[in-house]
Amino acid sequence: MTRCFDNMESQTEISTIGEFGLIGRITDGIEPKNASTVAGVGDDGAVLRYPDTDVLVSTDLLLEGVHFDLTYVPLKHLGYKAAVVNFSDIYAMNGTPRQITVGLGISSRFTVEHIEELYSGMRLACDIYGVDLVGGDTTASRSGLVISITCIGDADKDKVVFRSGAHDTDLICVSGDLGSAYMGLQLLEREKRVSAGDKDFVPQFEGKEYLIERQLKPEARKDIIAALSSSGIKPTSMMDISDGLSSELLHLCKASDTGCRIYEDRLPVDYQTAAMAEEIGMSAITAALNGGEDYELVFTVPLHCHDTVSKIEGVKVIGHMTGPELGCALITADGGEFPLKAQGFNHMPAADAS
Amino acid sequence: MTRCFDNMESQTEISTIGEFGLIGRITDGIEPKNASTVAGVGDDGAVLRYPDTDVLVSTDLLLEGVHFDLTYVPLKHLGYKAAVVNFSDIYAMNGTPRQITVGLGISSRFTVEHIEELYSGMRLACDIYGVDLVGGDTTASRSGLVISITCIGDADKDKVVFRSGAHDTDLICVSGDLGSAYMGLQLLEREKRVSAGDKDFVPQFEGKEYLIERQLKPEARKDIIAALSSSGIKPTSMMDISDGLSSELLHLCKASDTGCRIYEDRLPVDYQTAAMAEEIGMSAITAALNGGEDYELVFTVPLHCHDTVSKIEGVKVIGHMTGPELGCALITADGGEFPLKAQGFNHMPAADAS
């Protein structure tokens, strides 16, 4: 299987260049892309200038052994994903990500080249999404890799979308398809068990490439935010789907004081997800509802936006909001009604998430 | 010795209330104190509004076993310190801290009450310094406590002070005294070794209370920033002293393309620091130069500010900048000249920090 610690020809111990040498290597050549970035790496803090817009801030902590497994996650992909999932939070507020800061805890088994590889993924994500890396903190870790990213973005004052703005009868929409990242994780975990440390093991991913890509290299839905804007639609509420659709819908309904109905036959599921679900004897709908890390958007729009929102490529109407007294439920193809539960993908127990 | 896991009567497993229950408990009753805080905890991100000022961002990562030892650091103190050291970075840019986000990785031995205790320290720091806690990320950790804090602040556009603005002949000033936090750490480590797991051990801290306080409950020099401002002085360069004076001066000189001379007999050392240094057979000057975590400010001012800056309580002129060709040196009481080295307090090897 892909291993982070294979295939690197010349390796440099971090101790030979020190913390500041390492920071110099990984931040070399970084140039601001955004007008709001006044000064970036190399001081006690970064300086940003946001005269006419609201500033959005989001933070994520990723820990080895909890959020990622370096047995099958290449460091460059990890860096890319760590950055993109933060951009996703800013898009989910209807904003544009502009800057990130990166806190990195590095255990002794990592070399300079490993950290450069990780950073190359973050910098690639920053290049693609037009984001500036403006600072951070690098330290030793006694236990595995720690990645903490804070993303700063902006949105025009009247454009920010909160979780709390949905109303009864609003349409519930999702972008892309759901459950594929979770199936990608199942696939990688299975191949890891099968390979069981065999360095020459070649994993079987044919016909499942999409699932692997969704797990290892997710994208944030910048395109959907742009399409909504150009269609003249401002969602009434929005979140990105990191912990599973059920969990996120429960959040939206709680914050907006609504209930909801979503329809099983409207949930967007890719055929690779459906095939993999069948292969492992799991319901694809369960994966779509509770599998995490899709980083798609779930949002609500007023009923009168039905025709406009339906025309946006990659967006599907899956249900509608209701009064809070009706609770949150999935309507199955045969008309059955099942309450939504947040049994999702949390890295902490979610006892009272509902 | 003080132990975080003693003396807590009723303990609640985090699994019984879940991630969102925990977040609810620790963020309960948080109200914005700053006009720039439009929306805080409870969405994908926080919303801030900074129409007329520059925005400053700084981030710090604190890892158990590297940055703190819960054998002798009470959780409330840890929370307080974790917040304050971030405020210190913003003050070191001549700004005012306004918001923090908190990423927390929690291993299974922590209960709800432990995390509330940690948060109570952060919230106390936020109350005292007028900062809003606006968001974060809470997750499980397989290995010890992880604290990642990002601080956002502001400064009028012409007020931000960088590391790079010092000139030849500028006076070098420091606030407070140096080396005491390092001596506090030595003291705590010694008592830990002596106690060696004896629960009833009573540590001997008489006459050394100041050292313990400097290590466990540092303060950020908000007062010095205010005094400089009311004296009409804008430093030409500034940093906070987290890794030791030598290391920070080397940063200032490198960024400003200068050299420097500081004078041994001008270095501010508290008598408790000097006494403890003698007790353990260490030079107090070494502690002042290389001991970390004092969170005092080192800054430079033009020569003509000498009289004004000397009048500010708690500020001492310790030397001056030179041309870069002269390098960075300490002048001893007998006129000897020793190059400054960054052997400081880094949590990573600092091979080429100079």
pLDDT tens profile B306-352: 999 999 999 999 999 999 999 999 999 899 999 998 764 445 443 43
pLDDT tens for residues A118-153?
A: 999 999 999 999 998 888 888 889 878 999 999 999
Q: How large is the average pLDDT for residues A235-254?
A: 94
CA of B262 vs chain A CAs: smallest distance (Å): 22
Q: Does B90 touch chain A (CB under 8 A)?
A: yes
CA distances in angstroms from B229 to B163, B226, B243, B273, B297, listed in the order given: 18, 5, 26, 30, 14
CA of B180 vs chain A CAs: smallest distance (Å): 22
Closest to B132 measured CA to CA, from B38, B19, B226: B38
Cα angle vertex A255, ends A251, A260, to 5°? 65
Q: Which range scores top for mean pLDDT: A195-199, A343-347, B102-106?
A: B102-106
Q: Rounded to 10 degrees, what is the CA torsion of B274, B278, B280, B283?
A: 70
Among B43, B159, B239, most A C-beta atoms within 10 A, so best to mutate, is B43
pLDDT higher than 60, residue A350: no
Which of A8-12, A170-174, B331-335 has the least mean pLDDT?
A8-12
**Interface contact flag, A148 B148, Cβ < 8 Å:** yes
A167-196 residues touching B, CB cutoff 8 A: none
Among B25, B27, B34, B44, most A C-beta atoms within 10 A, so best to mutate, is B44
Q: What is the pLDDT of residue B337?
A: 94
**Interface contact flag, B105 A66, Cβ < 8 Å:** yes
Q: What is the pLDDT of residue B33?
A: 76
pLDDT tens for residues A263-274?
A: 999 999 999 999
What is the phi/psi pair of residue B30, to 5°?
A: -75, 125
In the structure, what pLDDT confidence band is assigned to residue A345 with cuts at 50, 70 and 90?
very low
Q: What is the pLDDT of residue B40?
A: 67
Q: What is the pLDDT of residue B212?
A: 93
Cross-strand bridge partners of residue B64: B68
Q: How large is the average pLDDT for residues B222-251?
A: 95
Closest to A118 measured CA to CA, from A84, A77, A73, A62: A77
How far apart CA B264 and CA B241 sit, in angstroms, is 17
Cross-strand bridge partners of residue B46: A57
pLDDT tens for residues B38-91?
A: 776 667 677 777 788 888 999 899 999 888 999 889 999 999 999 999 999 999
- First-to-last C-alpha distance (Å) of chain B: 39
Handedness of CA B176, B178, B181, B183 (dihedral sign): negative
Pairs of CB atoms within 8 A across A/B: 263
pLDDT higher than 70, residue A4: no
* Residue % of chain A over a pLDDT of 90: 61
A222-261 residues touching B, CB cutoff 8 A: 239-240, 255
| A78/B142: higher pLDDT | A78
Task: Nearest by CB to A44, from B55, B58, B63: name it.
Answer: B58
Q: Does B107 touch chain A (CB under 8 A)?
A: no
How far apart CA A83 and CA A180 sit, in angstroms, is 20
pLDDT tens for residues A55-68?
A: 899 989 999 988 89
In the structure, what pLDDT confidence band is assigned to residue A351 with cuts at 50, 70 and 90?
very low
Task: Nearest by CB to A352, from B17, B38, B52: name it.
Answer: B17
Closest to A101 measured CA to CA, from A172, A151, A67: A151
Q: How large is the average pLDDT for residues A335-352?
A: 66
CA of B114 vs chain A CAs: smallest distance (Å): 16
User: What rounded mean pLDDT belongs to chain A?
Assistant: 87
Sort residue A232 into left (φ over 0), alpha (ψ -120 to 50) or beta.
left
How far apart CA A260 and CA A330 sit, in angstroms, is 8
Which of A49-53, B53-57, B254-258 has the least mean pLDDT?
A49-53
Chain A residue numbers with beta carbons less than 8 Å from the beta carbon of B15 are 349, 351
**Interface contact flag, B349 A153, Cβ < 8 Å:** no
CA of A84 vs chain B CAs: smallest distance (Å): 14
Could you tell me the maximum CA-CA distance found in chain B, to the nearest angstrom? 66
pLDDT higher than 80, residue A42: no
Task: Nearest by CB to A138, from B16, B148, B348: name it.
Answer: B348
pLDDT higher than 90, residue B92: yes
Cα angle vertex A15, ends A10, A16, to 5°? 60
CA of A240 vs chain B CAs: smallest distance (Å): 8
CA of B61 vs chain A CAs: smallest distance (Å): 6
Q: What is the pLDDT of residue A349?
A: 41
pLDDT higher than 90, residue A108: no
State the complex-level ipTM: 0.86
* Residue % of chain A over a pLDDT of 70: 91
Task: Nearest by CB to A45, from B48, B66, B89: name it.
Answer: B89
Task: Nearest by CB to B49, from A55, A95, A99: name it.
Answer: A55
A10-49 residues touching B, CB cutoff 8 A: 14-22, 38-39, 42-49
Q: What is the pLDDT of residue B8?
A: 53
Helix (H, G, I), strand (E, B) or coil at A152: strand
Cα angle vertex A195, ends A189, A197, to 5°? 105
Chain B residue numbers with beta carbons less than 8 Å from the beta carbon of A38 are 54
